[in-house]
Each structure stands twice: as C-alpha cells, then as structure tokens.
Amino acid sequence: MNSEKVIFGFFITLAASLNFGFWTGEMDRIELHNVWELAGAIVVSLIATVLKFGDRTQLGAVHLATSLVADVQLIAGAVIWTWAATSPGGLTPADMALVVSMSGGALLANLISVVLMISEIITARR
Amino acid sequence: MNDVMYLFLRRMRVPLVLVIMLYTVSVFGLAIVPGQDDAGNPTPGMGLFNAFYVISYTATTIGFGELPHPYSPIQRMWMTLSIYLTVTGWSYAVVTVVGLLQEPAFQNALRQGRYARRIRNLREPFYIVCGVGETGTLVCHGLDRLGLRFVVIDSDASRIEQIKLEGFQADPPTVIADASQPGNLTGAGLLSPHCRGVMALAVDDAANRAIAVTARLLRPGLPVMARVGDANTDHSMGAFGGDMVTNPFERFSTYLALAVARPERYRMGQILTGFPGDDLPELHHPPRGHWIMCGYGRFGHGVKEALTRAGNEVTVIDKLHYGEEGVDIEGTGTESASLRQAGIENAVGIVAGNASDLKNLAIALLARDLKPDIFVVTRQNQISNTSLFEAFHDDLCMQPSRIVAREFLALITTPLLARFRYEIRGASEKWSAELAQALSYLNAGYVPELWGVTIDTEHAGAVVDAITHRHWVNVGHLLVDPYDYEKPANALVLMVLRGDDSEILPTTAYQLEVGDRLLIAGSREAARRLELAMNNPNVLYYVRTGRERGGGWIWHELRSVKRRWIKHRATRGH
C-alpha cells in the first residue's frame, strides 16, 4: 500500500463527494445548498491540486489540469455567492442557480479526476 | 516546464497543503464564533467571506485591526490562536523554500538548466573545448580573439572556476563534466548544427581518444582535434578516418629541428598557424656546426635526429638516460664541467630541452657565461614562467602548450590548412622565404588571417551565378580591390581544392568552378571585401571587367533589349 496514493485518492474522492453534496438538489432553492459545504469543497479541491504539483507523468499533468478547472469554477461560485449575499437585494434564486451551475461544472472536472484515478489503478494492476 | 520547476513544486507540496489546512481551520472557526455589535449585544459569527478577509490580512502580518466590528472576547481568543497557526504555517513554507534554494541538488539543477538554455540559444558557430589546462586556456583565448564562441567542458571544478575569471569578450558556457562521456558532449551541443569543431585537450590520452571517437561517430565530418602524448596513440586515432591529431612531443621536436635546420620554412609555418594580428615571427639564423643537446627524453631524441639529419654534429648530455645509446656525457648541463666536456668552446648552439623550466634557464645562463656568442634554444614548459624567459633573451624559445594551441586553432578554424601544409611539406627554403615574404605584406606587418571559401550558392552566390552563365571567374578577379579596380586586394589565394586535386598558389588566370574550395590569406578588411565581391553580382562584374553596372532589374532588361536590337540590326545589315 502506497500512502501517497491513499492520501491523493482520499482528497480526490472527498472533493468530488463534497461538491456533489453541495450541487445536489433543485438549482434555485436556496435552502437546499449549504455555504459550508461549498467552502469545504473549495479547500479540499485546493489540497488535491497542490498534491499533484511536480508530477512529471502525462496522467499527472491531466490531473493537475482538471483540478485547476475545479478550483477556478468553485472559487468563481464562491465569489458570486459573496457578491450576491452582500448586495442590497440579498441572495436570489437566480443567483443560487448560477452558483450551483458553477459547482456543477466543477463536479464534471472532479468526476474526470476520479475516472483518471481509477483508470490509473486498472492499468497498474495489469 | 523544466527540472527546476518540477523539483520546486514537488518540494512545496507539504508546506502548501499545511498552509491551506491552517487557513481552513482559522477561517471556519472565525466564521462561526459569535461576535458582538457596537453596543455589546451578542451577534452570530461574521460569516465565511469576512473571516477569510480577516485571516488573509492577519496571516500575512498586515493587520488592519478588528473588522467589521470590535471583536467579542471569544473572537479575540480565536484570532490569537489563528495568528500563531497561520504565521507558523507561512514560516514553515518560507523555510522550506530557503532550504531548497540552498540545496546542492537544486543549485545543480538550476545551473544545468541555465547551461542547457545557453547551449540551445547559441545560434552562431561555436567550438567545444574539452579540458582547459594551459593549452586549453590558450585555445579559448585564441578563439575569443577571433570572435568565435566556444563551450568549455572540464571535469576539474577548479579549472572551470579559473576559466570563468579569464575575462573573455563573450562569457563561454561552462560545465563541470567528464567530456569522455557521450552524454556530456551532446549536452555541450555536439549535435547542434552550429557546432563547428571539437578540441580534445583533456589531461589523459584515453579521454581524448574517447572524445574523438564520440565526435567521429555522432557527427561524421566534424573537425576533431585531439592532443595525445603517446606516439602509438597517434596512429590508432588516425584509423578513425582523418581525425587531426597533434602529438605535442613529436610536433615540438619537429619544430625545434625545423627551426634550427630550416629557419625559412619554420617561419612560414609560424605565419600560417599564428594568431591573426600578432606580430610576425622573427627570422632566426641558427648556425651550423657543433651542437649540444641537454636532456634526452622523448623529444630529445627527435631533436637530435633532426639536427643530425640537417648536417650538424650533436653531443648529448643527460644524467637519467646515461648509458643508453646516443648519450655521450653524463651530467645535467647545469655544471660547467659537463658543458666543457661536451666541447662548449667549439659549439655553435645549445638546446636546453628538459621538462623543468628552471633547469633549462640554468643551462642557458651557464652556457652564455662560458661562451657569450652561443645560440641558445630553450624549451619553456609553463606559461607562468614567461617573464623569466623574456628576461633571459634567448635566441629561440619554444613553448609546447603554445605550439599545440596555435596548431589546433589554425587547423580547426580553417580545415583546409591541414591539406595545404601536407601539400607543401617538402618545400624548399627559397620557396618558403618567398611565400613568407608575400604573407608578411598582406596584413601590414602582422600575421594575416586565413580562411576557407567554398564556391557554392550559400557562400559565393554571385560567382556561382556568373559561372553558370558562362562568365568565367579567375583567381585574379578575386584578388582585385572591389572599390578600386586598379589596386590589388590584400589577399592571396594559397590553394584551390577541386574534388581531391589541389592547386597550390594558383596563377591569376586559374579558372574557378562551382564546388571549388579556396584557402585564402589576407587582412580582415580584405576578407570582408572579398565576401562582398563573391556575393554581390554588380561588384563581381566590376572586379571582372573594371566597369560599373547599374543595379536594378529594369536596367538589366533594358540593356539586354538594347543588345538584342544591335544584334538584330547587325544581322539584317548583312
């Protein structure tokens, strides 16, 4: 068992699952989406990105790219949320739909990461 | 991304993850803990965004104060904890970066990256110098004076440090590596299309042999010069197909003998291989008669043989080799008894040819004392002793390292010179004197430059064009000043190589053909003008005919229309 693989697998999966938890539920219903879950998804996604720094393999480079995409989308979602929540009108269902769609995009990137990880495991087993 | 970037990112993983985690704990905590408003009433936590803002300026020790409201005691407690946590995280990251920068492996990767980048960016002709001892340093200085770039490889770190302090016009890329490893040679740009030659001047013969073989196999046709000390190696290297190999001991004794026996030919050779712009070598007139040779080592044999062949009588003094055939007197030559025994009263010349400079100087001083008008030839082994030899005023001083350096430089920058020297190997004294005389006029009393030109579209476009249109170009046309038809250019065509046939000192009427290779001597200005004449059709027309010709296409066409019209009228007239 390789502890580096365990740690990386843990963070990749956690990023995907946290993001899924935030994203799931109807898009424009504010009460279904928790800000802490989004914050947690950002943090875990950032850690997963850092863990892929300095990997020279082709797969490592793609991993880094997908996690960077997830980071950008999640941070964009968080900025939109903060902006909307501090504006005079407060958070509207339209704003929430935007944030959730952002996290949906990030979720796609997370899923690619997970698929890549699994494919890596399969090829290694062979 | 290069090695350095990967190494850096890989090492920054742990500190960065730590910083992210500490931020998360601090931000989440601060977002939750209850605060108070201005009146002191408890309020819920400040929220994620405000907490992130506060932690960001606190962790970076900017510290704007308590925003948005003065904090509640519990918030202050959490802030205190956060300050210590985040500052510790940052400090750890910074310490890691500093440690990484100081690490020898990282420094090495950085140096390697810089070196590889410089080699990649070398977009002009360059040479690879392997080994920068005394000879290698001289070669580097010679290349630098010719305005040529070079890459230095040496496995000795102290020599590399030394070469960095030499103060060249253009800083050469240097690397501490074993040049006999093929990877290190290719790393130095052996495979680059701009690499023009390799000089193997490493300390041991085996390394030089390895360098020559590597270059020969990876870049067939690239000039390789290797220095070897062992006479047998010279032949085995020759088997690798025309590599130019210099055996310093052999060369040295040949030259010394040549200097004594054939001073004119020696001087001509000196001019041909001299550094362009140096003072012309003086002509020595060593006397014939009885010579004394001190030191009978590897090249002592060669000197004695050459001197004897030139009709001199040689008495050899040696202590170490006494008893061997050829040694007449036991002694070092530094005591008057042995010199008297060798008959210094009747001797015309003495060669001090030991491997020790001080011994040679002692012999020379003593010989001068015993017989003031004796011709003294000294062998100087170390460049650092130059001032001592200059103070002595010997008649002829020879430095092995300088001989090798000059020879390497001359042959590698103009590969045709090797062929030329081969062709004139048996030249008479009279012929040599005339050529030396002609060469000495070319550059106003200084050693002229030597260069090779191939008649092809790249190097002599106008000449090729003229020849293909059946306008003959002679050697004489090229030796005319392109600015004034009446004046000769300060240049001399030494040799034309056509296929494998060579024409030494071709006459002015010698017609050039496409593919000819010319070896030319002249001043730097003449080289520039000749290049102009060979590439500019109008200038070539001028040197060929002495008439100016308009430049543009329209004038060309108009002239040819006029020519046709005249021709037409002439035929109709018949």
Q: What pLDDT is attached to residue B231?
A: 55
Reduced 3-state DSSP string for B94-155: HHHHHHHHHCHHHHHHHHHHHHHHHHHCCCCCEEEEECCCHHHHHHHHHHHHCCCEEEEEEC
Q: What pLDDT is attached to residue B1?
A: 45
| Confidence band, pLDDT 50/70/90 cuts, at residue A41 | very high
Q: Could A56 and B6 be called an inter-chain contact, meaning their C-beta atoms sit closer than 8 Å?
A: yes
Find out whether A52 and A63 touch, Cβ atoms under 8 Å.
yes
Residues of B in contact with A50 (CB under 8 A): 12-13, 16-17, 20
Q: Do domains B123-246 and B250-399 have the same CATH topology?
A: yes
When pLDDT is averaged across residues B475-499 and rounded to a whole number, the result is 84
B537: β partners: none
B67 interfacial to chain A (CB closer than 8 Å): no
Q: Could A51 and B7 be called an inter-chain contact, meaning their C-beta atoms sit closer than 8 Å?
A: no
Contacts of B418 (CB under 8 A, 6+ apart): B244, B411
For residue B491, which phi and psi values (nearest 5 degrees)?
Answer: -145, 160
| Phi-psi category of residue B323: left, alpha or beta, with phi > 0 → left and psi -120 to 50 → alpha | left
Integer Cα distance of B455 and B474 in angstroms: 12
Residue A39 scores a pLDDT above 90? yes
Q: Could A54 and B16 be called an inter-chain contact, meaning their C-beta atoms sit closer than 8 Å?
A: no
| Confidence band, pLDDT 50/70/90 cuts, at residue A112 | very high
Q: What pLDDT is attached to residue B244?
A: 60
- In three-state secondary structure terms, B551 is coil
When pLDDT is averaged across residues B221-249 and rounded to a whole number, the result is 62
Range with lowest mean pLDDT among A23-32, B481-490, B492-501: B481-490
Q: What pLDDT is attached to residue B92?
A: 92
**pLDDT tens-digit readout, A79-91:** 999 888 888 888 8
In chain A, where the domains are located: 3-125
Substitution target in B13, B22, B28, B46 with the highest count of A β-carbons within 10 Å is B13
Q: What pLDDT is attached to residue A96?
A: 92
Range with lowest mean pLDDT among B158-162, B426-430, B450-454: B426-430
When pLDDT is averaged across residues B354-359 and rounded to a whole number, the result is 84
When pLDDT is averaged across residues B563-568 and rounded to a whole number, the result is 79
When pLDDT is averaged across residues B139-156 and rounded to a whole number, the result is 87
A36 interfacial to chain B (CB closer than 8 Å): yes
CATH architecture of B123-246: 3-Layer(aba) Sandwich (3.40)
A108 interfacial to chain B (CB closer than 8 Å): no
Cα-based distances in Å from B205 to B96, B104, B183, B225, B412: 46, 32, 19, 12, 19
Find out whether A22 and A37 touch, Cβ atoms under 8 Å.
yes
Reduced 3-state DSSP string for B357-388: HHHHHHHHHHHHHHCCCCEEEEECCCHHHHHH
Q: What pLDDT is attached to residue B249?
A: 65
H/E stretch holding B561 reads helix B553-573
| Confidence band, pLDDT 50/70/90 cuts, at residue B294 | confident
Strands B517-522 and B375-379: what pairing? unpaired
Integer Cα distance of B522 and B103 in angstroms: 53
Substitution target in B9, B26, B46, B56 with the highest count of A β-carbons within 10 Å is B9
B146 interfacial to chain A (CB closer than 8 Å): no
Q: How far is B106 from chain A (nearest CA, A)?
A: 14
Q: Could B48 and A35 be called an inter-chain contact, meaning their C-beta atoms sit closer than 8 Å?
A: yes
When pLDDT is averaged across residues B325-338 and rounded to a whole number, the result is 80
Average pLDDT in chain B: 83
Q: What pLDDT is attached to residue B263?
A: 82
Q: Whose structure tokens read 């296409």?
A: B553
Q: What pLDDT is attached to residue B209?
A: 83
Contacts of A57 (CB under 8 A, 6+ apart): none
Integer Cα distance of B332 and B361 in angstroms: 12
Domain boundaries B448-553, corresponding CATH code: 3.30.70.1450
Cα-based distances in Å from B425 to A83, B258, B432: 90, 12, 10
- In three-state secondary structure terms, B488 is strand
Q: What pLDDT is attached to residue B240?
A: 47
Of B74 and B411, which is predicted with more confidence?
Answer: B74
**pLDDT tens-digit readout, B403-418:** 778 877 887 788 788 8
Residue B327 scores a pLDDT above 60? yes
B9 interfacial to chain A (CB closer than 8 Å): yes
Amino acid at B7: L
Q: How far is A62 from chain B (nearest CA, A)?
A: 14
Find out whether B259 and B266 touch, Cβ atoms under 8 Å.
yes
CATH architecture of B3-102: Orthogonal Bundle (1.10)
Residues of B in contact with A35 (CB under 8 A): 48
When pLDDT is averaged across residues A44-48 and rounded to a whole number, the result is 93
Strands B501-504 and B491-498: what pairing? antiparallel
Q: What pLDDT is attached to residue B241?
A: 46
| Confidence band, pLDDT 50/70/90 cuts, at residue B151 | very high
Residue B2 scores a pLDDT above 70? no
Domain boundaries B250-399, corresponding CATH code: 3.40.50.720
A86 interfacial to chain B (CB closer than 8 Å): yes
Residue B236 scores a pLDDT above 70? no
Integer Cα distance of A112 and A64 in angstroms: 11
